Homo-oligomer: A and B are copies of this chain.
Amino acid sequence: MSKKLTKREVDYSKWYNELVVKADLAENSSVRGCMVIKPYGYAIWEKMQSQLDKMFKETGHQNAYFPLFVPKSLFEAEEKNAEGFAKECAVVTHYRLKNDESNPGKLIVDEYAKLEEELIVRPTSEAIIWNTYKSWIQSYRDLPILINQWANVVRWEMRTRLFLRTSEFLWQEGHTAHSTKDEALAEAELMNNIYADFAQDFMGMPVIKGLKSESERFAGAEETYCIEALMQDGKALQAGTSHFLGQNFAKAFDVKFANKEGKLDHVWATSWGVSTRLMGALIMTHSDDNGLILPPKLAPIQVVIIPIYKSQEQLEKISEKINPVVSELRNKNISVFYDKRDTHKPGFKFNEHEIKGVPIRIAIGPKDLENNTLEIFRRDRMLKENIPFEKIYEKIDFLISDIQEYIFNKAQKFTTENTSVANSYDEFKSLIKNKGGFVSAHWDGSSETEEKIKKETKATIRCIPIQSVGDKGFCIVTNKPSSQRVLFAKAY
C-alpha cells in the first residue's frame, strides 16, 4: 500500500495494472488468463449488477439460467456464430479422473470416461438458449420472450488483462424472441439505450451510441448496437453491445411461431450484454495518479470516517460524537465506514482509502472536538475543507451529488476535447498518431477501406453514431461518397 503508483503519463498500462491490484479490486489467478475478483472489486460489480438488474426488470425482462455447457453439435448450428468463437473455446472432453498408478497421490484423466460428444464451455449462450426456445415457442401468444441471464463465460484469450480481457469473465446476456422484425430492432436499440443511461448516470462515463460496421459486428448478428467510451489514454473501449440477430438463430434451430392468421414464420431475435469489462472502463475513465476515483452511486463505501487519537479516552470521546452520525447516515442509505481499526495509523488509512477511491473522507481529532468541527475531503478533486460539525449531513448530501456530477462532466469534457474531425487521410493519420481519441471521418462503407485504415493506422471504426451530424461527404481514403461520418479510434 505504501509504494506509489506509476504515473499515468509515464506508463498508462502499467498504472492500470498496478492500480487494479493496489486498490484491491482483482488479481491474476493460477489459471491462465482467469482472474480473482477480490471483495472490494466484487462489491463494485454487485452495485453495477443490482442497478442493471433493476433497469432490466423495469423494462419487462426476467432472469433465468441456462447450462454452462454447449454440446458441439448445437454450438456449430449457427455457422457464423460458431466460426466467430471456435478458435477460443474451452472444450470438455472427459468426465472423470483416476489415480495415476505410476505416481501415487496424483490424478490423471480417465481415458475410459471420454464424452461421446464434446462440450464447449459457453463463450456466449445463443446456441443453447435458442435450442431451448424451440420448445417454448409455438404461437404468437408465446412471444415476446424477454429473458436475461447473469453468468460466467469463457473465451480463451491469448493476451489477457485484468477486467479488460480475461479468459473467464462475468456478464449478463439478454436473449429475446419476437414476432416481428421491428419489435426485435426496437428491443436491441432499447437495451443499448439502457446501457448508455447506466454508463452515464451511474458510472459517470460518457458514451457514444452507435452501430458497428459489418466487420466489427457480433458473429451471427445482422446489426450490432454499441456504446463506446473514451479512456484517458485516448483509446476507445467498447462498453456494451446489443445485437439484432434477425432470424439467423431461429433458422439454425428451426424455431417457428404461428401468427394470428395461423401462418408459420421464423422468430426474430436479439441478444445484448455487458460484462466485468465495465470495471476496467470505470477505472480508466476517472482514476488518477493517486489511485481509484469512484462515482458515489457505485462506491461500496461512500463515506469513511477516520478518528485521530492518541489515547483510548480520546477515541471514546470521538466515538461518542461519531456513532450517532454513522447511524443517521445509514438511515439515509449512505454507506459509511467508521474506520477505528487500532492496527493501523491514520496516515495508512488516509492512503488506503485514497487509493481505493472512497469519495468522501472525514477526519476528526481532539481539536475538532474542542472546536466542534471536522475535516472533510473529496477524493475526486483532492480538496480538503474544515467545516462546522453541524454542517455534516448537508455537506455529505452535497458532495455525493456533486462528485457524481463533477466526474461525469470532467470525463465529458475530455471526450469532447479528444474527438477530432479529419477531412483528409493525411490529417486522419496525423490525428490518430499524435493526438489519439475519437476521429470523425467520412468512409465509403466498404470493408476493404476499413481494413486498409486498420492496417495502416491501427485505428478501427468504433461506431457509426446514431446521432449523426448528417453531413454527407467523400471517403477520406477512396473519395467515394459517404452518407455520414463514422468514429475511428485505436481501441482496447
Q: A residues bordering B, Cβ < 8 Å?
A: 27, 29-31, 34-39, 42-43, 45-46, 62-72, 74-76, 79, 82, 86-99, 105-107, 109, 118-121, 128, 131-132, 141, 147, 151-152, 154, 156, 168, 170, 343
- Contact between B106 and A96 (Cβ–Cβ < 8 Å)? no
Q: How far is the CA of A389 from the CA of B400 in the complex (A)?
A: 45
Is there an interface contact between A141 and B343, defined as CB atoms closer than 8 Å?
A: yes
26 pairs of residues in contact across A and B, judged by CB atoms under 8 Å: A27-B132, A29-B128, A30-B128, A31-B128, A36-B64, A36-B67, A37-B65, A38-B64, A39-B64, A39-B147, A42-B62, A45-B65, A67-B168, A68-B121, A75-B97, A76-B107, A79-B105, A88-B95, A89-B96, A91-B97, A92-B92, A93-B94, A93-B109, A97-B120, A109-B118, A141-B343
Q: How far is the CA of A270 from the CA of B93 in the complex (A)?
A: 32
Copies of this chain, complex-wide, total 2
A34-B67, A88-B95, A91-B93 are known contacts; what are 14 more A-B pairs with Cβ within 8 Å? A30-B128, A31-B71, A31-B128, A37-B65, A38-B64, A39-B62, A42-B63, A68-B168, A72-B107, A75-B97, A88-B96, A91-B109, A92-B92, A93-B109
B97 touches A86 (CB 8 A): yes
A37 (CB) vs chain B CBs: closest residue: B65
In the complex, which residues of chain B have a beta carbon less than 8 angstroms from the beta carbon of A66? 29, 36
A88 to B92, CA, bound (A): 13
Contact (Cβ within 8 A) B141 A34: no
Asked if residues B90 and A95 are in contact (CB atoms below 8 Å), the reply is yes
Q: Is the CB of B30 within 8 A of A74?
A: yes
The A interface, classified by DSSP as helix, strand, loop or mixed, is mixed
* Complex contacts, A67 vs chain B, CB 8 Å: 29, 31, 34-36, 168
The answer, among B65, B106, B109, B132, for a CB contact under 8 Å with A76, is B106
For A31, give its contact among B64, B94, B119 (CB under 8 Å): B119
Contact B97 A131 (CB under 8 A): no
**Cβ–Cβ < 8 Å partners of A105 in chain B:** 76, 79
Q: Which residues of B contact A79 (CB under 8 A)?
A: 105
Chain B residues near A43: list those with CB within 8 A.
Answer: 62-63
Minimum distance in angstroms from A425 CB to a CB of chain B? 37
Nearest-CB residue, chain B, relative to A168: B68
A19 to B82, CA, bound (A): 36
Residue in B34, B62, B75 whose beta carbon sits within 8 Å of that of A68 in the complex: B34
Chain B residue numbers with a CB within 8 Å of A91 are: 92-97, 109
